[in-house]
Amino acid sequence: MTTVFHMNECIRKTKQGIPLTESEIRQLVRGIVPQHENERIPDYQLSAWLMAVCLRGLSDSEAIALTFAMRDSGQVLHWDLDGAIADKHSTGGVGDKTTLILAPIAAACGIYMPKMSGRGLGHTGGTIDKLESIPGFRTDLAPDAFRRQVREIGCAVAMQTGDLAPADKKLYALRDVTETVDSIPLICASIMSKKLATGADHILLDVKVGSGAFMKNNEDAAKLAKLMLRAAKADGKHCTAVLTDMERPLGMNIGNALEVAEAITVLRGDTASELGDFCITLAAETLAAAGMGDKASCREKALCAVESGAALARFAKMIEMQGGNPRVTEDLSLLPESACKRTLHTTSAGWITAMQSEEIGRASVLLGAGRMTKEDGIDPGAGIVLHAKNGDAVAAGSPLLTMYAAKESQLDEAEALLKQAIRITEKQPAPQPLIREIYSTGD
């Protein structure tokens, strides 16, 4: 039997809703990253199968088998450390700088956090771009340097290497151009194959819900979260999934250096802000999952790590070990800032009822903070600082946000988009909690 024949069978079965066997799924993944040329499955067949999955779905068992086969398509890391190892993943958001805050807090509390991250694409930002806005910071760590840093200070954030779940890299590129990204089993396999390959014992998933996210409603987000928990549990890992609101950006700053500045502000002690409180909650979940106490005492530990300055010191050490200037933690003016800036003001008094995160993300791309294609460059000092947010009362003529860009023409373009993204009404909107739900394999 040839590979092509098998693949036809796989496409037919998935198209008709007939489950694939584990062996078929393993062969399919082997055909994505073949060891021999005659095993290779052509892109047109893979694309047809992806579309069949999008339209018909996969059973949970098939999704988990796909996750495991993709995990095993490359290197699976093993750690020899004397403490709990945690990893965190966000399904992609606007203004999401939680890794920059969570990793040093967790490390200061005695948890190891080796973090592999990616660049931003489209309207969502990426942790690697954010960190690289710190002068000198390097994310292309050699495997030995990455391991050494994790062992010494508990945290490192590096660019994801091609050795980890390479089947996902290939499949994701195909999904991107064949309109097959929005499938719960495919998203689960993509995210969890990479998470399980990094060898952490505890995985924290931040599943974004809302107009700016892959999951547009609570029901789909809960389905995705529960499937990812099942995959983690089947691999013997502890996993927590937090469903968070992405109708609004996270925090007040959007853009690379601007987000680093906001992360430093939280690490300096601003734990009462919505972002600060969110990061403390994530840290408490991580510490509790690692057996460091109940959630209330873990929350205290996380707060203490910030208040004592231990978490900020850990972040400064991480910056130094990765070639950056650690003095940015003391002096935010060392971070880059774009040459042009403009503040938009409200034209009427009222309540901010909408600040659509997707549009805000797209405006930050127009300002130069993000990229639409992988080849685009970015301006590390560009972005948006919000002065008010969803649910806030505003007076007429009060500052709403400030934009930063290299050129005035970029400010003009972003201004037009931002004006459509923000709605102010006379009626106070109902408060929207940032955390909508928390699920855990331990429940």
Residues serving a catalytic function are 89, 168, 175, 190, 194
Contact 367, 330 (CB under 8 A): no
Determine which residue in the list 184, 187, 279, 284 makes contact with ligand URA, applying CB under 6 A.
187
Q: Which is nearer to ligand URA, 157 or 422 (CB)?
A: 157
Minimum CB distance to ligand URA, residue 240 (Å):
18
Q: Which is nearer to ligand URA, 186 or 403 (CB)?
A: 186
β strands within 76-119, DSSP E:
86-90, 113-117
Which residue from 224, 287, 236, 250 is spatially nearest to 439, judged by alpha carbons? 224
Q: Which is nearer to ligand URA, 127 or 346 (CB)?
A: 127
Q: Which is nearer to ligand URA, 73 or 265 (CB)?
A: 73
Minimum CB distance to ligand URA, residue 191 (Å):
5
Asked whether position 127 contacts ligand URA by CB under 6 A, the answer is no
Separation between Cα atoms, residue 48 and residue 12, nearest integer Å: 10
- Give the tokens for residue 313: 């010191």
Torsion angle of the four alpha carbons 429, 435, 437, 443, in this order, in degrees rounded to the nearest 10: -150
Site for ligand URA in 145-174 (CB under 6 A): 172
Minimum CB distance to ligand URA, residue 50 (Å):
11
Q: Which is nearer to ligand URA, 171 or 401 (CB)?
A: 171
Determine which residue in the list 74, 92, 114, 126 makes contact with ligand URA, applying CB under 6 A.
92
Selected range binding ligand URA among 186-194, 217-225, 338-346, 350-358, rule: CB under 6 A: 186-194
Asked whether position 32 contacts ligand URA by CB under 6 A, the answer is no
Minimum CB distance to ligand URA, residue 249 (Å):
18
Q: How many CB atoms lie within 10 A of CB 219?
A: 10
Minimum CB distance to ligand URA, residue 185 (Å):
10
Separation between Cα atoms, residue 54 and residue 15, nearest integer Å: 10
Residues 6+ apart with CB under 8 A from 175: 50, 181, 186, 190
Minimum CB distance to ligand URA, residue 90 (Å):
9
Asked whether position 91 contacts ligand URA by CB under 6 A, the answer is yes
Which residue from 364, 276, 339, 307 is spatially nearest to 98, judged by alpha carbons? 276
Asked whether position 190 contacts ligand URA by CB under 6 A, the answer is yes
Minimum CB distance to ligand URA, residue 98 (Å):
15
Residues 6+ apart with CB under 8 A from 220: 184
Which letter does DSSP use for residue 163 in this model?
T
Minimal CB distance residue for ligand URA? 190
Q: How many CB atoms lie within 10 A of CB 145?
A: 15
Q: Which is nearer to ligand URA, 52 or 191 (CB)?
A: 191
Question: How far is residue 207 from each of residues 45, 91, 222, 223, 226, measured CA to CA in Å?
Answer: 30, 5, 9, 11, 11
Separation between Cα atoms, residue 167 and residue 416, nearest integer Å: 40
Which residue from 323, 331, 307, 344 is spatially nearest to 418, judged by alpha carbons? 344
Q: Residues binding ligand URA: what is the number (CB under 6 A)?
A: 9
Site for ligand URA in 208-267 (CB under 6 A): 214
Contact 441, 229 (CB under 8 A): yes
Residues 6+ apart with CB under 8 A from 168: 70, 73, 189, 190, 193, 194
Determine which residue in the list 150, 191, 306, 344 makes contact with ligand URA, applying CB under 6 A.
191
Task: Tell me the torsion sign for CA atoms 397, 403, 404, 408.
Answer: negative
| β-bridge mates for residue 112, sequence order | 85
| β-bridge mates for residue 87, sequence order | 203
Q: Which is nearer to ligand URA, 192 or 312 (CB)?
A: 192
Q: Which is nearer to ligand URA, 50 or 290 (CB)?
A: 50
Asked whether position 207 contacts ligand URA by CB under 6 A, the answer is no
Minimum CB distance to ligand URA, residue 167 (Å):
12
Positions in the binding site for ligand URA (CB under 6 A): 91-92, 172, 181, 186-187, 190-191, 214
